[in-house]
Amino acid sequence: MSLNIPASSFYQKNKNKRLLDIEEKLEHAECQLKRKPIPQDFPISLLGPPANWKIFTKQDEALNYAQENGMGLMTFAFEERVPDSGGRRKYLTTHPSQMWIRHKSRPIEERCTYEVIPQSSKCKLYFDLEFSKPLNPQSSGEKMVELLIKATTYTMQEVFDAEVTESDILILDGTTETKFSQHLIFQSQNAVFQDNIHAGSFVQYLVNQLKESKVPNLSATEQQSLFINNDKGNTVSFCDLGVYTKNRNFRLFLSTKFGKNVPLIIAKNNSFRPALSNNEALFNASLISYFEDEKSVHQLLTFAKDVSGKSKHHDQKSLDPTLNGYKMSPWNEIDDFIMKLATPGTIHHWVYYEQSETIVYVIQGNRYCSSIGREHKRNQIKYVVNLPNATYYQTCFDPDCTRGVAQTIPPEYLPWHNLMGDLDAQTPDFDSVKKPNVNVASI
């Protein structure tokens, strides 16, 4: 028997056609599956976010459930409608991505939802800014926000050596006819606090600095413009200092207060743009205690209060930073002395307080603090020079540190003292020297 033509080649074409048909169907099905792997109503997967959705009447129970289950679950508070009465606050534990799906599909007037910022959870730096328009006809909210951002970025740099720019700050707006209202939420990894109590202590410190016009990159008038009249007839900061309490409820993006119809939207003065330009990315960015990329957070900032509620180390009594600058001050000899002390660091900037005749030098490149006997990881150190007493001490931006002991500045760095000492039988008597000033110092 001779088969010169193999059977396979005879059937090849038909077989191929059938196989191709099947393959095509499989490919189509695979493609469909890839496009929509799981029905949208049940967005659950082993790799994706969990589908937990659990409602509680007590906040503690909700927070415990979230903590015990982990998986990125967060707790939200919402106002439940109760017939013939106001809303009733309930708590929901779910993943932010689930929250977003439900949140965006609700009618605006029913979006009365808040993030619960859990105590002891790391958090972004945030501000709640508000004032009554009728009580403050002269105040311009957007201008005030611009100034506050300037003061905050300066102070973040000064206290933590942390660089934050305006484009790192998400601004949400819920302003009405009668009330200015904006939220600022800092997106920079340089501005993550250990918890919202620490964040609040920092904001309190910043407000105190502004109140005393101590922030050198703003004029005194600009600093005072950040204080407004409240309905009790007091002058207070437009930063609400009451939003840094334990398990604080903080309103969500696109959410409105109960019975109002004014959702928080992206403010006109916002310049933050998320990497993915969509509302879900903005929603995630607006969450105070949620970090999409946990690994990117390397350092947690702390700013503790002492028992009296005041930050400890800022004890310069004076107001009005009358002179300030970078690197070199008008007191060249004292600059030289500080430079020697700061080695291997240098003078980052200096501020002169006229009333107390003190110069504060902020040092860069050296964080050795005598209070702890080693370098700080983040906090910068300072030298404070008291001109009338011809003394100096070292301090820092860590509120837990105590300031160093005041020491005498050697006479060779005090030419005016030498001059007066010459006149006074060549015995330098520091106590007898009263008021050196810029002119005398430059003789």
Tell me if 371 contacts Zn ion by CB under 5 A: yes
Report DSSP letters for 87-102, one per residue. EEEEEEEE-HHHHHHH
Q: How far apart are CA 172 and CA 326, in angstroms?
A: 35
**Which residues from 175-214 bind Zn ion, rule CB under 5 A?**
none
- Least distance between Zn ion and beta carbon 399 (Å): 9
Residue span binding Zn ion (CB under 5 A) among the ranges 8-16, 167-175, 389-397, 427-435: 389-397
Among 115, 173, 195, 398, binds Zn ion (CB under 5 A): 398
Q: Which CB sits closer to Zn ion, 126 or 397? A: 397
What letter would DSSP give residue 351? E
Q: Which CB sits closer to Zn ion, 281 or 341? A: 341
Pairing mode, strands 248-251 and 123-124: unpaired
User: The tokens of 8 are what?
Assistant: 């396979």
Sheet order of strands, 321-326 included: 321-326, 346-353, 358-364, 381-386, 391-396, 407-408
Residue span binding Zn ion (CB under 5 A) among the ranges 7-15, 46-54, 332-340, 395-403: 395-403
Tell me if 369 contacts Zn ion by CB under 5 A: yes
Q: Which CB sits closer to Zn ion, 240 or 400? A: 400
Q: How far apart are CA 418 and CA 424, in angstroms?
A: 9
- Least distance between Zn ion and beta carbon 381 (Å): 7
Residue span binding Zn ion (CB under 5 A) among the ranges 7-15, 134-142, 186-194, 368-376: 368-376
Q: Which CB sits closer to Zn ion, 132 or 371? A: 371
Contact 94, 74 (CB under 8 A): yes
Q: Which CB sits closer to Zn ion, 309 or 373? A: 373
Q: How far apart are CA 114 and CA 127, in angstroms?
A: 15
Tell me if 92 contacts Zn ion by CB under 5 A: no
Tell me if 396 contacts Zn ion by CB under 5 A: yes
Give, in degrees to the nearest 5, the angle at Cα 364 between 360 and 368: 90
Give, in degrees to the nearest 5, the angle at Cα 67 between 65 and 71: 100
Among 151, 169, 172, 401, binds Zn ion (CB under 5 A): 401
Binding site for Zn ion (CB under 5 A): 369, 371, 396, 398, 401
